[in-house]
């Protein structure tokens, strides 16, 4: 029956096209109207509920706050900005209210408004992705690249999602070369393979949460793209015996795609395993950690030279990002080919935020890639020079001061078009987040990342750390955390946050825990609340995110417990903050989790420091590097670069 319906739908579209009638969301064909009928009822109910909740918000707010809200609505402010203001205003109202019934009512209203920004319950869409694919920036054939589907519209939709949201951050393939060879359909090409395409499609499904075709089990985020992943893994087994100079560049790229995929799903230690394998393959090709190569004097085609450069420098970026993230020395210490031409693209090359209805922006892709590589050089020096130390070492201070100066100089030299005020493309916003994450690590990792998280039990304890972390370092780290919060808001207002690259979740967690650890932390801090709201959205999109959300909630509860204990032991202290707002906030997190449908982690992980959080994040996403290295040394099955 479903096949017949699909056939009828295809016939409608075919008939429309044969008469040169374009099926569009404005004037849908009969099939589209049939598929959207039930959805129309749900949309009507959704709109009615939104209006009712908005009226309830206006009734609940204080007069001045209600006036500001109405002014924002009349001024056509973005929904994200309105939502953030409502959250802030309701939090203030709740903080000033003593009536339990009113508090519960305000909580219910706040949860309802926040729900409109989170991933909605799964709703299978019949025609939407086909309508979208008509406007997809990239048109690709399904065959001969994958046996999972023969639907060119679906493949075009997924490829467009990948090149829009995932690809730009690392850019370890040459997009133009890959698209050209994808279109040609030659499975024996040096630039494309079935292994690469299925790995790419598996990644792209992460950005297609709203469409049933991305799931194996409808609505289960754990099964997004698993069919494409299974086929990619089958092809990986066929390529496992590539060695030395026989390694295909497409296999290196596909392995890096699997690294990204496993890092989102948290498959044991597969993230690190794929990254290490890709590094060894690139070393075998001589493009990293080897003497310098002059590709211009080789007999390589222009396409191959461009692809080799992208892959080598893209791998360098991935390696420095993941190892700097988790305070480990990077494995790629040298790129053996020259960088790409910084002037390869100009302002005429645009980035289109498919599939949302926002205007295109200049991509500045080659300029971005060059700046990202320059930042990676600093990150490499940080990871190899400071993160390998786990104990305080005063001798590191001059080195850290030099690194800090390099980071600031890098930021000062960024093109004017990269400024947040220009509302640039998504990858440029993420580049600035990465810069501030590196600053936080440099400023606060003077003793292995082990900052005090729990409330102090005595003034001497704070005194111990005050001699280690200066007030100036704290202020700069907090400033970077707030900059991250502002950049996340910018991304949310411009493009939403659901499809943001997975690195966004890392920077949000780092900024949140930086704010949590400051001695003068304020619960109703605007940036903290804004980051928490964004974390609740991005964490719902992956299994790793769900686990990190639970860790964050339980860590806040641990902080509540510590503050209560401290208040009980010092009842006369006037400098201690009351804990009733902490209790309400912890309860709000619990109810928010209930709305998301998530359950408590049986292990009840609590991160007691930034270092703890990073360790948990690493284990949940890319795996445990020490355990992996032990297995690699004792395993007979391992990629051989010889």
CA distance 206 to 204: 5
Beta pairing class for 350-351 and 361-362? antiparallel
- State residue 638's pLDDT score: 33
Q: Where are the domains of the chain?
A: 51-121, 130-326, 389-448+470-565+603-630
Question: What is the pTM (predicted TM-score) of this model?
Answer: 0.74
- Closest by CA to 437, choosing from 342, 363, 510, is 510
For the segment 328-356, what is each residue's pLDDT rounded down to a tens digit?
A: 999 999 999 999 999 998 888 999 999 88
CA distance 399 to 393: 11
Beta-carbon contacts of 509 under 8 Å, excluding residues fewer than 6 positions away, are 535, 548, 552, 613, 617
Q: What's the token pair of residue 75?
A: 């001024």
- Closest by CA to 590, choosing from 625, 549, 620, is 549
Q: Whose structure tokens read 């930086």?
A: 514
Secondary structure (3-state) at 361: strand
Beta-carbon contacts of 258 under 8 Å, excluding residues fewer than 6 positions away, are 199, 202, 229, 232, 233, 236, 270, 274
- State residue 447's pLDDT score: 36
Secondary structure (3-state) at 351: strand
- State residue 105's pLDDT score: 59
Task: Point out the residues of the chain with pLDDT beneath 70.
Answer: 1-53, 79-80, 90-133, 210-224, 241, 243, 267-268, 386-395, 446-470, 560-604, 625-642
Three-state secondary structure along 222-253? HHECHHHHHHHHHHHHHHCCCCHHHCCHHHHH
Q: Whose structure tokens read 């220009």?
A: 422
Q: Whose structure tokens read 């295809």?
A: 10
Identify whether the C-beta of residue 195 lies closer than 8 Å to the C-beta of residue 254. yes
What's the longest Cα–Cα distance across the chain?
82
Phi first, then psi, for residue 174 (nearest 5°) are -85, 110
CA distance 641 to 243: 5
Gyration radius from the chain CA atoms: 26
Q: What's the token pair of residue 505?
A: 């979740």
- Output DSSP code: residue 30: H
- State residue 131's pLDDT score: 66
CA distance 542 to 617: 13
CA distance 206 to 158: 9
CA distance 344 to 348: 11
CA distance 162 to 263: 16
Angle at 92 between CA 88 and CA 96, to 5 degrees: 170
Residue 559, Cβ density class (10 Å: 0-12 exposed, 13-18 middle, ≥19 buried): buried
- State residue 287's pLDDT score: 96
Beta-carbon contacts of 366 under 8 Å, excluding residues fewer than 6 positions away, are 340, 341, 342, 343, 344, 345
The CA distances from residue 485 to 329, 530, 607, in Å, are 27, 7, 21
């Amino acid at each position: 029956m479903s096949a017949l319906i699909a056939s009828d739908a295809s016939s409608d579209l075919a008939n429309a096209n044969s008469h040169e009638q374009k099926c569009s969301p404005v004037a849908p064909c009969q099939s589209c109207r049939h598929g959207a009928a039930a959805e129309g009822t749900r949309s009507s109910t959704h709109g009615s509920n939104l209006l009712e909740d908005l009226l309830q918000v206006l009734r609940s707010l204080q007069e001045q706050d209600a006036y500001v809200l109405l002014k924002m609505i009349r001024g056509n402010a973005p929904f994200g900005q309105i939502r953030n203001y409502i959250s802030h205003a309701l939090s203030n109202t709740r903080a000033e209210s003593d009536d339990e019934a009113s508090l519960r009512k305000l909580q219910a209203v706040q949860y309802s408004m926040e729900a409109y920004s989170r991933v909605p319950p799964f709703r299978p869409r019949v025609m939407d992705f086909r309508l979208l694919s008509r406007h997809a920036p990239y048109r690709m054939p399904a065959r001969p690249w994958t046996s999972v589907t023969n639907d060119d519209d679906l493949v075009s939709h997924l490829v467009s999602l990948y090149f829009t949201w995932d690809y730009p951050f690392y850019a370890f393939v040459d997009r133009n070369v890959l698209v050209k060879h994808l279109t040609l359909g030659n499975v024996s090409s040096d630039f494309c393979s079935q292994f690469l395409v299925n790995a790419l499609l598996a990644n792209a499904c992460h950005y297609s949460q709203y469409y049933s075709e991305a799931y194996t089990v409808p609505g289960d985020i754990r099964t997004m793209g698993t069919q494409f992943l299974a086929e990619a893994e089958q092809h990986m087994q066929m390529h496992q015996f590539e060695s030395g100079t026989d390694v295909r560049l497409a296999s290196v790229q596909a392995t890096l795609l699997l690294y990204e995929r496993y890092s989102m799903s948290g498959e044991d230690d597969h993230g690190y395993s794929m990254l290490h394998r890709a590094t060894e393959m690139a070393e075998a090709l001589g493009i990293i950690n080897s003497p310098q190569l002059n590709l211009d004097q080789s007999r390589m085609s222009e396409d191959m030279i461009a692809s080799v450069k992208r892959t080598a420098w893209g791998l360098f970026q991935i390696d420095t990002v993941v190892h700097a993230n988790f305070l480990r020395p990077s494995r790629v210490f040298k790129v053996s080919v020259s960088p790409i031409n910084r002037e390869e693209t100009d302002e005429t090359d645009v980035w289109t935020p498919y599939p949302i209805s926002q205007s295109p922006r200049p991509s500045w892709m080659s300029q971005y890639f060059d700046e990202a590589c320059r930042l990676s050089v600093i990150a490499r020096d940080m990871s190899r020079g400071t993160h390998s130390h786990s104990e305080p070492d005063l001798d590191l201070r001059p080195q850290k001061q030099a690194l800090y100066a390099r980071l600031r100089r890098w930021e000062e030299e960024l093109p004017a078009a990269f400024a947040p005020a220009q509302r640039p493309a998504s990858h440029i916003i993420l580049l600035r987040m990465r810069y501030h994450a590196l600053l936080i690590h440099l400023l606060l990792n003077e003793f292995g990342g082990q900052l005090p998280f729990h409330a102090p039990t005595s003034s001497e304890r704070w005194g111990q750390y005050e001699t280690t972390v200066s007030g100036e370092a704290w202020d700069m780290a907090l400033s970077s955390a707030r900059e991250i919060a502002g950049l996340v808001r910018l991304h949310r207002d411009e493009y939403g946050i659901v499809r943001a690259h997975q690195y966004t979740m890392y920077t949000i967690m780092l900024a949140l825990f930086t704010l949590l650890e400051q001695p003068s932390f304020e619960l109703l801090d605007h940036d903290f609340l804004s980051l928490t709201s964004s974390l609740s959205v991005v964490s719902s999109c992956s299994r790793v995110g769900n686990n990190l959300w639970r860790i964050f909630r339980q860590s806040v509860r641990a902080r509540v417990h510590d503050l209560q204990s401290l208040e009980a032991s010092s009842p006369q202290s006037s400098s201690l903050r009351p804990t009733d707002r902490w209790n309400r906030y912890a309860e709000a997190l619990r109810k928010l989790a209930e709305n998301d449908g998530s359950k408590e982690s049986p292990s009840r992980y609590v991160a007691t420091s930034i270092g703890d959080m990073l360790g948990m994040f690493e284990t949940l996403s890319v795996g445990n590097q020490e355990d992996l290295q032990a297995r690699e040394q004792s395993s007979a099955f391992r990629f051989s670069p010889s």
